[in-house]
Each structure stands twice: as structure tokens, then as C-alpha cells.
């Protein structure tokens, strides 16, 4: 299989990036990383729009065919390479993991987008600052709920005994919380889980290629 990943450092494409590193380590299947600098607007280049008309990373290109959306990419990779253990195998645990993954993708993540890119949602600057502030408050509530999930998981990682795509997404959301001014001390279970998550070999490889730092919070 020929796999290419279009990703941007620190973006949600980290989830797919981790998954491909885990697959490479578990099965030897390689992939080609393709950097997209979204801060430079490379997602709007015609060649990229031909892969994803939404102008977003990640895009996984499988034997020349583009696949978008983290949830779809996660399921595709998990079913194609079960040895990488990207999602739980037990039917109920898997459905619960997909429920949480979808919540990350359709609620928590867009809330951060409202905080980080309010200009996407209003042209007026006052409206943008109101959107930003409301999103910051909502993002904190989401992160506190995620902290509770980690605390009550009953397993070392959200995925179970080893980290999976859910943990890669949680790590990403945790990094973003620092940019939103959320003190990691207020998310103790998540903070303590993110450290061993980041140390897992496939996570560490993706973190190294993206050159990202876990510690994004700066006290005011
Ligand atoms: N629901 C989409 C979300 C993708 C998304 O929001 N990607 C962001 C990076 S985290 C992006 O590419 N943003 C580019 C832009 O907003 O211009 C998915 O699961 O792939």
C-alpha cells in the first residue's frame, strides 16, 4: 500500500501522524510525510484543494486516493493495520472510543478553532473578541470534562493499556489548552497522562518530526 500524509505541525493531523508511526513500528508499512504550512496558507494552493476542497489537514492519500476527516482516517487505518492497536477491539470499548473521538472532532476541536481563528466566524473585530472569549470559557469546560474522563478511565490510557488515536487527539487538545491560557495544574489527570503518552515510541517519533513541545502554557 502506498501511503502519504499531508500534515501541519501541532495541528489535529498529529492524530493521523501518530497512527502512521504506530503502523510503521508494528508492521513495517511506511508512509511519506508531506508538510503543509497552514500558517502560510498552503492549504489554499490548487494542488492541495484538489486533494481536500475543505482546505484542511489531515489528508491521507492511499494508493493515490485522498481520504479526509480524522474519524474516517482512524477507522480506515485501524481496520487495515489492526496490529497497531489504534482503537480498542472489544465492541463496546471500541464504540465508546469512537463516541469520544467524534466528540473531540465535532465539539472540542471546533471550540478551539473559534478561540484560535475567530476571524473565520466574524469580520467585525469586536464580534471576534467576543467569540474568542466565549470559546475560551467553553474550551475550559470541555477540557475539564476530558480531565474527568481520563481520571475515571480505569486504564493507563484512554485507548486501554497502550495509547491509541484517542490519546493522540487528547494530547493535541491538551497542547492547545495552553495556548488558550488554561493552567495544566487545573487538568491534573490529563497532564499526568499526557507525559507517558508522549513518551510512547510512535508518539515520540511524530512529536520529533513535528518539532512540537508539550508545554505550551505560559503563566500570565
Ligand atoms: N473535521 C476535520 C477538521 C480538520 C481541521 O480543522 N484541520 C485544521 C487544522 S487542526 C486545518 O487544516 N485548518 C486550516 C484552516 O483553517 O485554514 C478533520 O477531522 O479532519
Instruction: Reply yes or no on whether the pLDDT at 150 is more than 90.
Output: yes
pLDDT in tens, 108-138: 999 999 999 999 999 999 999 999 999 999 9
Instruction: Reply yes or no on whether the pLDDT at 32 is more than 90.
Output: yes
CA of 109 to the centre of ligand 1 (A): 9
- Confidence (pLDDT) at 19: 98
CA of 77 to the centre of ligand 1 (A): 19
Q: Give, for ligand 1, the residue of 40, 52, 57, 66 to mutate: max count of ligand atoms closer than 8 Å to Cβ.
A: 57
Average pLDDT over residues 156-185: 97
Cell of 133: 472569549
Q: Give, for ligand 1, the residue of 5, 9, 12, 13 to mutate: max count of ligand atoms closer than 8 Å to Cβ.
A: 12
Cα-to-chain-centroid distance, residue 159: 14
CA of 70 to the centre of ligand 1 (A): 9
- 21, 38, 62, 110, 202 from 114: Cα distances, Å: 30, 16, 31, 6, 30
CA dihedral over 81, 86, 87, 88, signed as positive or negative: positive
Ligand 1, atom 13, residue with closest C-alpha: 56
pLDDT in tens, 1-13: 999 999 999 999 9
Ligand 1, atom 5, residue with closest C-alpha: 56
CA of 178 to the centre of ligand 1 (A): 19
Ligand 1, atom 8, residue with closest C-alpha: 56
Instruction: Reply yes or no on whether the pLDDT at 72 is more than 90.
Output: yes
- Direct distance between the N- and C-terminal alpha carbons of the chain, in angstroms, rounded to an integer: 48
- Confidence (pLDDT) at 220: 78
pLDDT in tens, 15-31: 999 999 999 999 999 99
Confidence of residue 100 (pLDDT cuts 50, 70, 90): very high
Rounded to the nearest integer, the mean pLDDT of the chain is: 97
Confidence of residue 76 (pLDDT cuts 50, 70, 90): very high
Hunting for cell 489537514 — which residue is that? Answer: 57
Instruction: Reply yes or no on whether the pLDDT at 154 is more than 90.
Output: yes
- 209, 34 Cβ separation under 8 angstroms: no
The set of protein residues with a Cβ atom below 6 angstroms from ligand 1 is 11-12, 38, 43, 55-58, 68-70, 105
Amino acid at each position: 500500500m502506498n501511503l502519504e500524509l499531508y500534515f501541519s505541525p501541532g495541528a489535529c493531523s498529529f492524530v493521523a501522524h501518530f497512527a502512521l508511526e504506530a503502523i510503521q513500528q508494528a508492521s513495517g508499512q511506511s508512509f511519506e510525510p508531506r508538510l503543509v504550512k497552514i500558517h502560510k496558507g498552503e492549504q489554499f494552493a490548487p494542488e492541495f484543494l484538489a486533494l481536500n476542497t475543505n482546505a484542511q489537514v489531515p489528508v491521507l492519500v492511499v494508493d493515490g486516493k485522498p481520504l479526509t476527516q480524522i474519524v474516517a482516517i482512524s477507522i480506515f487505518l485501524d481496520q487495515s493495520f489492526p496490529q497497531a492497536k489504534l482503537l480498542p477491539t472489544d465492541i463496546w470499548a471500541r464504540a465508546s472510543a469512537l463516541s469520544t473521538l467524534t466528540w473531540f472532532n465535532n465539539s472540542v476541536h471546533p471550540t478551539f478553532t473559534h478561540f484560535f481563528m475567530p476571524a473565520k466566524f466574524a469580520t467585525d473585530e469586536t464580534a471576534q473578541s467576543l467569540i474568542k472569549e466565549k470559546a475560551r470559557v467553553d474550551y475550559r469546560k470541555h477540557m475539564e470534562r476530558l480531565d474527568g474522563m481520563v481520571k475515571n478511565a480505569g486504564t493507563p490510557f484512554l485507548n486501554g493499556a497502550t495509547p491509541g488515536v484517542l490519546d493522540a487527539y487528547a494530547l493535541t487538545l491538551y497542547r492547545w489548552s495552553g495556548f488558550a491560557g488554561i493552567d495544566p495544574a487545573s487538568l491534573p489527570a490529563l497532564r499526568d497522562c499526557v507525559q507517558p503518552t508522549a513518551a510512547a515510541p510512535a508518539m515520540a517519533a511524530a512529536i520529533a518530526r513535528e518539532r512540537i513541545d508539550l508545554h505550551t502554557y505560559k503563566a500570565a
